[in-house]
Amino acid sequence: MIELNRILGADFFIFYNQSSSQNIEGILNHYQAEGLIQIVQWNLPGKVTFYDRIPTQEGGHYYRQVAALNDCVYRNKGVSRYVVNQDLDEFLIPRKLKTWHQLMADIPGGYGSYTFCSAVFPKYWSDALSLSHEDTRDAIEFGSKTVLKQFRYKAFHHDQRTKWIVRPECIVACGIHDIWKTTANASCDNYNVMESKAKIHHYDNWKSIDSTKILDNRINGYKAELLQRLKNKWQILKKFKQKNRTLIE
């Protein structure tokens, strides 16, 4: 999650931590010592009952996420130009350009939020066959699911499972997949970024009714640098169990 996003252009990360293992804490503390991340202890109540469309347990999880997202946006007002919202198993990948900075310069400016469609890359599908033996070996050793999993489902429409980049000063309230309220300013409207420009790669075990496999090897444009970064980082963090590899990728 960290190293690929650094390649993409992330300057700083905020992690909301309700609980974590000693290994996770060790990895996070390493990145915190580098000045790259902030850890916010996030111990909100586990049950929420006032939202009757979501079962109690799921509702609690949903609202803890929403609270964290809004806290992140508000603590970055006047600090960050943009805030990017994505899960640990998601990556916002430009289709032709390499970095988010290049992407934002290439799409229309003057908006407060930018939403991106997403596509699921099932983890249960076979690994990419086009990789060299060395790349396959390294991707397995360092846990790079982004390099190994290069088949996806058809992307969702913009009204489903979108994620966003926002200018914090424009946002009053946001949800997980959309922006709920912006300031009363025309320059704070939302812009739907075309799939041909960028989309969210979501590495998950979700299953679609349409099982058509689409080869999407865009990640190969980052492969060499990513695998080298992972190799270097695991040499530093080798005392931690590699079952926590998703966090580092």
Classify strands 163-166 and 214-215 as parallel, antiparallel or unpaired: unpaired
The secondary element (H helix, E strand) that includes residue 203 is strand 198-204
User: How many CA atoms within 13 Å lie on the side-chain side of 195?
Assistant: 11
- Choose among 188, 166, 189: nearest CA to 177: 166
Which residue blocks in the chain are alpha helix, DSSP H?
2-8, 22-33, 56-75, 100-106, 133-141, 145-148, 223-236, 245-248
What pLDDT is stored for residue 184 in this prediction? 83
Decide if 71 contacts 47 (C-beta within 8 A).
Answer: no
How is the chain split into domains, by residue range? 2-248
Sign of CA dihedral 210, 216, 222, 224: positive
What pLDDT is stored for residue 58 in this prediction? 52
What pLDDT is stored for residue 54 in this prediction? 46
- Residues ≥6 apart with Cβ < 8 Å to 85: 69, 72, 163, 164, 165, 166, 174, 176
What pLDDT is stored for residue 210 in this prediction? 86
Euclidean distance between CA atoms 212 and 244, whole angstroms: 31
What pLDDT is stored for residue 153 in this prediction? 96
Phi, psi (degrees; rounded to nearest 5) at 33: -65, -25
What pLDDT is stored for residue 241 in this prediction? 65
The single-letter DSSP state of residue 220 is G
What pLDDT is stored for residue 243 in this prediction? 65
Mean pLDDT by 10 residues, the chain (249 residues): 96 92 90 96 64 49 86 96 95 98 96 97 92 94 94 93 96 94 87 97 91 95 97 90 74
Euclidean distance between CA atoms 189 and 144, whole angstroms: 36
Euclidean distance between CA atoms 149 and 91, whole angstroms: 13
